[in-house]
Every structure is written in C-alpha cells, then in structure tokens.
Amino acid sequence: MTLCRLVRVTACVLAFWPPAAALGQEIAANPAVNAAWHFGPLAMTPRIALKNVGFDSNILNAAGDPQPDFTATFLPGLDSWLTVSRARVTSRTDAGWVYFQTAADQRSFEFNEQARLDLVLSRIVPHVGGGYQRTRQRPNLEIDERALRTTTTALAGVEIHFSARLRFDLDAGRQTYRFDETHIQDAALAVALNRTENTMTGTLRVALTPLTTLVVKTEDEHDRFEFSPLRDSNSVLFEPGFEFKPFALLSGRASVGYRQFDALTPGVPDYSGPVAAVDLSYTMRETTRFAVSFSRDVEYSYEPTSPYYIENGGLFSVTQALGTDWDVVGRAGRTSLTYRGLNELAALAPDIVSRQDTVTTWGFGVGRRCGSTLRIGIDADRTARTSVIAGRNYSGLRIGGSVTYGF
C-alpha cells in the first residue's frame, strides 16, 4: 500500500465519522497516573533486574568444542512521562551490563532510549518520536555471534479519534541498522545487513468491549541495503487481530495476516503468504497460567546464497502457583528457519541454499515473590539447533538465577 493509498483510506474513514461519546475523557487519559513517583508534571517508574546469573555451557553456540562460562546481566531502566498543558513526552530508557567471567571479549554495555512527543488536541493527536539502541545481544536465531549493532528510529504520525471506540493511526517511520565488522563464515554482517527501512503504517482500532479491541493493520515497507542491493525489497502487509487487556479472559494480543514480499533483484524469489504475531496468556482459577507466543514472518539472512528466510515458531509455557509466594514454570518451544535461496543456485544445491534449520528449547524454573515488587527465581533451559550444515549445529544448557525489582 503506497502513501497515496493510505491517504485515500484515511479520507474514506473520515467520510463515515461517527458521533463522539465520552471522547474527551478517553483522549485526556494520562498514562502517567499509575507511575511510582510524581514530581509536578514529571512522573517516573524505575526498574531494575539481575538476570541470567549462573552457568552457560556453550556461550558461543559453537558446533564443536563448546566454551562454558559464568555469566550475569544487570538491567536498570526508567519509564518517564512529562506533561505540560496538551504536550506529553513519553520516554523509556534501558541500560545493561552483560558480564562473562572468562570470555572478556563477550562482555558488553547495552543502551536503549525511545521517546515520543504527543500533542493532545480535541480529536487529533499528532506525534513525533525517535530512538537509539546500541547492543551486542543476538538479534535473531540465525546469528550466533554477539555482534555490535546500532539501530536508530524516527517516527511521525497522527492519531484520529472518531469516537470513544474508534481510532485510526497513520505513521511514517524510518529505521537504520548498522553492524560492526563481525564476520560469520566469511560473511561480513555489515556488508550483508546494513540497511534502511522506510515504512508507512495505517492502523484501525475498534473497541469491541472494554477489554477487547479489534486491530487492523496495513503497512507498506521499503528496505534498502547499504552494501548489498541484492536484498532490496518492497513489501505490503495486511494483518488483522485482537488485543486483550489484562483483566480479560485472555490477555495479550494475536494477529494473523498476509505479506506480499517483492524482491527488486531478478533471481531472488518473492514471497506471498501468511504471517502471524501471537502473545497470549490465560489464567485458570487464579493459580495456573498458560502462555503462548508464536510468530511467522520474513527475516533477512547474512548468507550470500540465501537473502532471506521465513521464521516460523513459538514457545508454550505453564506457570503453577504454589501458595501465595512460590511458583514453578515449565516451557517448550520450536522454531524453523526456512531459507529462500537464489533461483539459479536453488536448483543446483537445494539442500543448502533452500534448507530448513530448526531450533528447539525446553526448560523449567522456580520463583518466589517477596511482596508486590520483588521476585527471585532460578531457571534451567536447554537449546539446540539442527541443520544440514555441520557448522550450524549446536546445543547448550543455561542455568541461572534472576532478581527482578520494579514498582
């Protein structure tokens, strides 16, 4: 969907403008009212966590000669809101220190800052936003190296509130991804994956009940690569779904849609098919919580013969409360990476360039809550990947504790 089409959609929706009922109250609702600290127009909620404190049997996800180490991750953060008249600034700041006892080259400092300015008018809420992230955490299941990368984000758009139940968002965004000079199997991540993504997104939200919202999302995305124009593409997404507030029978969100992915280079296969994003939980009798996450979409690959792959899979977990303070959790998941190879090579070596890798994980944990803001837990997880390429196979066991404190 092009910009012109999105504008036409907006105009059509405006033509059927329904009456506003309690609209002013909904737009005026301030998300900062539940913040932990209030200092005049400024509100803040701090967060702090110590995670993955323990043993990792294969810190590099190596196929052979795995390297074990002691590791820990320290994660402070802050959510803040500043309200001045009709202007609201929302900010989320995260920092982190990832520690390895022996592998000093794997240690890293993480930083992520995202901010947005909303101007709350009568029915229209224009906004601008931006962000910066610097991290060495693995970006996806394909990349095993902790490669340094930075992501910058710019966003501008407008929310149109037609009524207390109906809202339309129109956003234009730009993201840039920059990797360092890390190599994987003679492929440089910066050469393969440095890119700019330009998106135009239209989202219609209809509140069906106080706890359930219908969400219909359309998106037009243009991806351009700095050093690898072979991967340049345009894609269109149509994705309807639902959002459930925490007090509903279900909580979370679920959407299933369709993506038309058009590669701009002849010889790179296109993709047309289903996509999905699910993150739902259900609590039974206030003691047992079932949670499922699932995703299916296109992801870019660093491999020179396979420009992208379809990631398809998810994780299922069950958490059982033991009394008022203790809980135990079990989880299992499976994700497939189905590679799309260059047309001329797919016929010659389909088992390599058009293969399917599989990542499986299972684990369990136990935790104890100390009051309403502190939780202490310990978890054990085993992860393995299988592939026809011997160097891509690995397995590893991670056992670690965590302490989470938040208002």
Which range among 21-30, 138-147, 170-179, 256-265 shows the weakest confidence by mean pLDDT?
Answer: 21-30
pLDDT of residue 29: 65
- Domain-wise residue ranges, the chain: 3-406
- Give me the pLDDT at residue 406, please: 63
At residue 407 the predicted structure's pLDDT band, cuts being 50, 70 and 90, is low
- How does pLDDT run across 362-402, given as a tens digit for each residue? 999 999 988 777 889 999 999 999 999 888 899 999 999 99
Q: How many CA atoms lie within 13 A of 100 on its CB side?
A: 17
Q: Which CATH number fits domain 3-406: 1.10.3470, 1.10.260, 2.40.160, 2.40.128?
A: 2.40.160
Q: How far apart are CA 42 and CA 56, in angstroms?
A: 41
Among the residue ranges 2-16, 83-97, 135-149, 391-405, the one predicted with the least confidence is 2-16
Whether 247 and 211 have beta carbons less than 8 Å apart is answered as yes
* Mean pLDDT for all residues in the chain: 90
Classify each residue of 241-266 as buried b or exposed e, where b means 16 or more C-beta atoms within 10 Å of its C-beta.
Answer: bbbbeeeeebbbebbebebebebeee
User: Tokens 């990631």 appear where?
Assistant: 311
- pLDDT band of residue 7 (cuts 50, 70, 90) is very low
Q: Is the pLDDT of residue 98 over 90?
A: yes
More confident residue, 136 or 347: 136
Ordered DSSP codes for 15-48:
HTPPPPSSHHHHHH--TTTT-SEEETTEEEEEEE
> Percent of the chain at pLDDT above 90?
77
- Provide the pLDDT for residue 126: 97
Cβ burial of 195 (10 Å; 0-12, 13-18, 19+) is buried
Q: How many percent of the chain have pLDDT more than 70?
A: 92
310: exposed, middle or buried (C-beta count within 10 Å: 0-12, 13-18, 19+)? buried
- Read off the pLDDT of residues 276-333 as tens digits, 9 standing for 90 and up: 999 999 998 888 999 999 999 999 999 999 999 999 999 999 999 998 899 999 999 9
pTM of this structure:
0.88
Which of 116-130, 200-214, 309-323, 363-377 shows the lowest per-residue confidence on average (mean pLDDT)?
Answer: 363-377
